[in-house]
Amino acid sequence: MQAVKNDVQIKGAFKQFGSNVVLNGIDLEVKQGELLTLLGPSGCGKTTTLNLIAGFLEADSGEVFIKEKNVTKTPPYKRDLGMVFQTYSLFPHMTVYENLSFGLKLRKVPKADQAKKISRSLELVKMLGLEHRYPRELSGGQRQRVAIARALVVEPELLLLDEPLSNLDAKLRHELRAEIKRLQKEIGVTTIFVTHDQEEALSMSDRVVVMNGGKIEQISTPTEIYNHPKTEFVFNFIGKSNSFEGKIVGVENQKISVQMADDIFPVDIDNILGEDRSCRVGDEVKLYIRPEKIKIESTSANHLHKATITQMNYLGTAWEVDVTLSGKSLQILTPAYDSSWQVGSEVYVGWSPSETMLMKK
């Protein structure tokens, strides 16, 4: 079997601006043809990481490889990249056509070939026919698509997209997400996509890199990141969660029993978050459970725990039901709903040991 090649590799990158450590030991491999997302809160170092790859910035220490070539000291224009920047996109004084021909002229592509390549790129982003418009004559979404076409037209080895969908309304974001994904698979260009929107990252990526404070917390597929977060940060950053405190009262048969007030909850031993994976009876711990993993029923038939409804919100596709359980409030997201439920109703709730995450305090 042939090993999948890495198109980009970052080894041990550190970067400091004054006393602010912005990248604190980044190691990253991007496989050929994959769409990899850098996801994390504002200021965690996503754009800085892209700038290292693009060559706009040099790390204080560490190395960057593109197509297995060490490019740490190579200037940006020799790295063969297409990039859509976070802060600005098109040249305002140029038409769509001129915006796209700019990079081709720099690369001395003959005029006739330029026209062909430009048509092909505009076709890919569904913008044919608007060549002679200026950016100010386009909608926000059309501008973003032209920016993507401009990055693609030079047929780059690598595509870097820094929050290309910010400043767009929800519907357009949704459409362009799907379009970028389709386009990326169609031309097979290795792509690094930056976002701080977890839904965007989960829906688009082959793999997601979750960053926090200049470090990588986890690199995995979207389903792994969501269902098997490695750290508390990843768990909280991706999706909603309930958390509450308890004490370990038993450890046996791959299960940890945690007591919270009058209730005991089993947790799979594989679901310990964080570095400290040792667990003993008497340890104080925090339990985490996602709202959509909680079962809610009207009867005690399945040995669930007794709870009381405190609030109910209809969300269109599901109900958001808040309950109190042993004095703690829990949020539940459920598509099933009993019409007799109302604020004050007694219900029964529970979840599987495999759906609960645990972390030592």
Examine residue 331 and tell whether it contacts Mg ion (CB under 5 A). no
Q: DSSP assignment of 121-150, as one string?
A: HHHHTT-TT-TT--GGGS-HHHHHHHHHHH
Taking CB under 6 A as the criterion, which residues in 33-92 touch ligand ATP? 40, 42-48, 86
Q: What are the CA-CA distances from residue 303 to residues 12, 326, 347, 353 (Å)?
A: 51, 15, 12, 14
**CA distance to 43, 85, 224, 264, 330, per residue, from 268 (Å):** 35, 43, 16, 13, 20
89 binds Mg ion (CB under 5 A): no
Task: Tell whether residue 10 is a contact of ligand ATP (CB under 6 A).
Answer: no
Binding pattern to ligand ATP, positions 191-220, x when CB under 6 A? -----x------------------------
- 195 in contact with Mg ion (CB under 5 A): no
Cβ-based nearer residue to ligand ATP, 45 or 246: 45
Given CA atoms 112, 113, 118, 120 in this order, what sign does their dihedral have?
positive
Interacting stretch for Mg ion, rule CB under 5 A, among 85-93, 142-150, 175-183, 265-273?
Answer: 85-93
Nearer to Mg ion, 47 or 198 (CB): 47
The binding track of 37-66 with respect to Mg ion, each residue x by CB under 5 A or -, is ----------x-------------------
Write out the E strands in 32-72. 35-39, 61-66, 69-70
| 8, 10, 13, 22: which one binds ligand ATP (CB under 6 A) | 22
Residue with Cβ nearer ligand ATP (46 or 290) = 46
If one counts every other C-beta atom within 10 angstroms of the C-beta of residue 49, the result is 30
Residue 337 near residue 271, CB atoms below 8 Å: no
Does residue 17 interact with ligand ATP by CB under 6 A?
yes
Nearer to ligand ATP, 210 or 260 (CB): 210
* 303 Cβ contact list (under 8 Å, min separation 6): 350
Q: How many residues does the chain have?
A: 361
Token pair belonging to 225 = 């990141």
Query: In whole angstroms, how close is the CB of 131 to ligand ATP at the nearest point?
Result: 31
Q: Which is nearer to ligand ATP, 15 or 143 (CB)?
A: 15
Instruction: Identify which range of 3-11, 59-67, 86-94, 201-209 contacts Mg ion by CB under 5 A.
Output: 86-94
DSSP H or E run through 203: helix 198-204
Q: In whole angstroms, how close is the CB of 38 to Mg ion at the nearest point?
A: 9
Q: Which residues bind ligand ATP (CB under 6 A)?
A: 17, 20, 22, 40, 42-48, 86, 196
